[in-house]
Chain A
Amino acid sequence: MSTSVKIAVDRRTFVAKLLQATPDALVITGLGSPSYDVFAAGDRARNFYLWGAMGGSTSMGLGLALAQPSKSVVVITGDGEQLMGIGSLATIGVKQPANLTIVVLDNGHFGETGMQRSHSSLGTNLVAVAKGFGIADAFVVNQFEGFSDVARRVNARQGLAFAQVLISSDEPARVLPPRDGVYVKNRFRAELGFLPF
């Protein structure tokens, strides 16, 4: 039902508002535009930007959420990246980490490679998939104000949640986060009090 509704959220504003409302959250971003969106909202040490490892963002979020159960973990990714790691939703559905929220910025296209249509605009219903994998609190966000519903879940850490955010398919200017993975990793860990060995 939902993906045919033509109300589209502006990705940059949505992400900026969401992160403003979740200042303490640990954030993992899927490669491509979601990494740019999160960086554009303001760099912070508790952001981990993926520049590759397509399909890995949600699994990475799971490992982090299990390691840090008293902190909120948010994965912000796109439909293409989520689809490549779709089985991870089954794995996450088994573990049900109460501190994990997955936010899929869904424009129904592979943006980074020239806007080829993705499965989510060709028949796949990501919320139904997430629910089928046991993520009961899976829902569509089709207006900008929906950021506050997502933020509330992030901050509450009361249950695993999956938000499919229907964004417009325009491509804002690229704003590039650091791509030195070792730096980003060590900075993230230092923020949590872990020293390099």
Chain B
Amino acid sequence: MDQTTVIAPQWQQAIYKVLKEGGVKQIAYVPDAGHAHAIRSAQADPDMQDIVLTTEEEGVALVSGAWLGGQRAALLMQSSGVGNCVNMFSLLRSCNFPFLTLVTMRGEYAEFNPWQGPMGKNTQSALEMMGITVLRVSRPEDVEEIVSAGLDAAFLAGEQVAILLSQSLIGRKKWERK
């Protein structure tokens, strides 16, 4: 494997900073390249629990359990994972659990893989269908502010919030392996 040390883009660093300063203590995730920095940072942070999931719906229940126990938690996933969560989202509405998820988008911009299209194009409507407020970020300079706004809405007003990180923000996936 050709692995060179890369410095994470500023916007990815901003996400971890907002979560950390916002008092998040548990970060659950199904990995995606756009979340790489937050995942690495959580793993390296002794005051943060990082929880790798087998499927995203586990994360919906996990962050609710964390809130029962008095902690703030966030769920990181890719747009395909939103579809895996749909029935589990009913837990959030039935109990009005605060909820913050960051979703890296696929299937919407310069996509190479057509299999990402069906879920990616319906990610926002699936979230909204289940009563989750959707905020979207497309410009790197907006990431910190919008993630912070979502975090406040979740943990101060008890809302269920998904922040979609546009595929144009994340950049084109490189398909050639050297």
Contact = CB atoms under 8 A, between A and B. Distances in A.
B26 A63 contact: yes
Contact of A63 (B54, B69, B87, B157): B69
Interface residues of A, number: 38
A79 B54 CA distance: 19
B64 interface: yes
Interface in B138-160: 156-158
A75 B15 CA distance: 33
B52 A188 contact: no
Contacts of B90: 52-53
A87 B96 contact: no
Interface string A48-66: 1011111111011111111
A152 B134 CA distance: 45
A188 B62 contact: no
A85 interface: yes
B53 interface: yes
A189 B70 contact: yes
Nearest to B26: A66
Contacts of A194: 70
A121 B158 CA distance: 42
A185 interface: yes
Interface in B55-77: 55, 57-71, 73
A79 to B, nearest CB: 18
A61 B58 CA distance: 11
B149 to A, nearest CB: 17
A166 interface: no
A185 B62 CA distance: 14
Nearest to B53: A91
Nearest to B89: A53
Contacts of A88: 54, 58, 61
Interface of B: 25-26, 28, 49, 51-55, 57-71, 73, 87-88, 90-91, 94-97, 156-158
29 contacts: A48-B68, A52-B90, A53-B60, A53-B87, A56-B57, A56-B58, A56-B91, A57-B61, A59-B57, A59-B61, A59-B65, A60-B65, A61-B65, A63-B64, A63-B66, A64-B66, A66-B66, A67-B25, A67-B65, A67-B71, A87-B55, A88-B54, A95-B49, A181-B94, A182-B95, A185-B67, A185-B96, A192-B68, A194-B70
